A = this chain, B = another copy of it.
Amino acid sequence: MDLHAMDRYIKSLIKEAGHQIRNSFLTDITIESKSNANDLVTNMDKEIEQFFIERIRRDFSGHRIFGEEGFGDDIQNTNGIIWLLDPIDGTMNFVHQKRNFAISLGIYEDGIGKLGYIYDVVNDDLYHGVKDGGAYCNNEKLRPLMETDISESIVAMNATWSIPNRYLDHEAIIQLIRDVRGTRSYGSAALELAYVASGRFDAYISMRLSPWDIAGGMVIAQEVGAITTNFKGDPANLLKQDTFIAANPAIHQKLLEKYIKFK
């Protein structure tokens, strides 16, 4: 891969997709639900995924595509070059707010993240990361994460993980909420990951994310020193849904040891 050439190509592609999404605000959007009534999908999620796939197939033959809306390939292994795409991450925000959603894209080669992109479409903020080449917001380099402590941390997580649930000891999460400086929930995994990478959040945790939600953000976050794993401390899953944590290196281990406990 010529990372430099691909990076230029992808930035242009993402900006073009963002333009299409912003234009869609002027027309009616069709909303359906998927796995449950609150799992929304719109015509724009589908159209933007198809737009990406058409370009990738035309200009990068041999690359595979793993997309949220399922128009890409059936991915069963991480061999070769794979584009992991969420055309609109935070569809609920897209529908209800017309802001605070993102295009999320990661390019992986044999399971290794090479390029990562998170585009905050409405704010026109493009975060990107290049493996061993740094992380950026609008081409300005992001600084390595500074030392911090649980008591001074802002942690992003959805309220559903702090109430009784099947998977996680919510009492430990309640203790986390008491011990940190504050919690936030912005409603887009990709943007919350971009906020970890830019030091605005010190951690982001979720019980259930898909590879396309985190693939782009992981490349970006790792370049500033963030640690990204599942709740067992293993590398995040690139093939199927799993738990996920991205955190400042000073608190990652402590979060897993003290606050995140499976039932």
Check B162–A195 contact: CB distance below 8 A.
Answer: no
| Contact flag A159-B183 (CB < 8 Å), given A96-B200, A123-B123, A200-B97 | yes
**What is the size, in residues, of chain A's interface with B at 8 Å between Cβ atoms?**
31
Check A184–B186 contact: CB distance below 8 A.
Answer: yes
Contacts of A123 in B (CB 8 A): 123
What is the count of identical protomers in the complex? Answer: 2
| Contact flag A154-B37 (CB < 8 Å), given A163-B162, A185-B184, A187-B182 | no
Across the two chains, which residue of chain B brings its CB closest to A195? B97
Q: How far is the CB of A35 from chain B (nearest CB, A)?
A: 14
Contacts of A185-222 to chain B: CB distance below 8 A = 185-187, 195, 199-201
Q: Is residue A258 contacting chain B, with contact meaning CB distance below 8 A?
A: no
Stretch at the interface among A5-13, A66-74, A173-181: A173-181
Q: Is residue A145 contacting chain B, with contact meaning CB distance below 8 A?
A: no
Which of B92, B99, B158, B181 interacts with A92 by CB under 8 Å? B181
Q: Is residue A160 contacting chain B, with contact meaning CB distance below 8 A?
A: yes
Q: Is residue A151 contacting chain B, with contact meaning CB distance below 8 A?
A: yes
Which of B151, B157, B174, B184 interacts with A37 by CB under 8 Å? B151
Q: Which residues of A contact B (CB under 8 A)?
A: 37-38, 92, 96-99, 123, 151, 154, 157-160, 162-164, 174, 177-178, 181-187, 195, 199-201
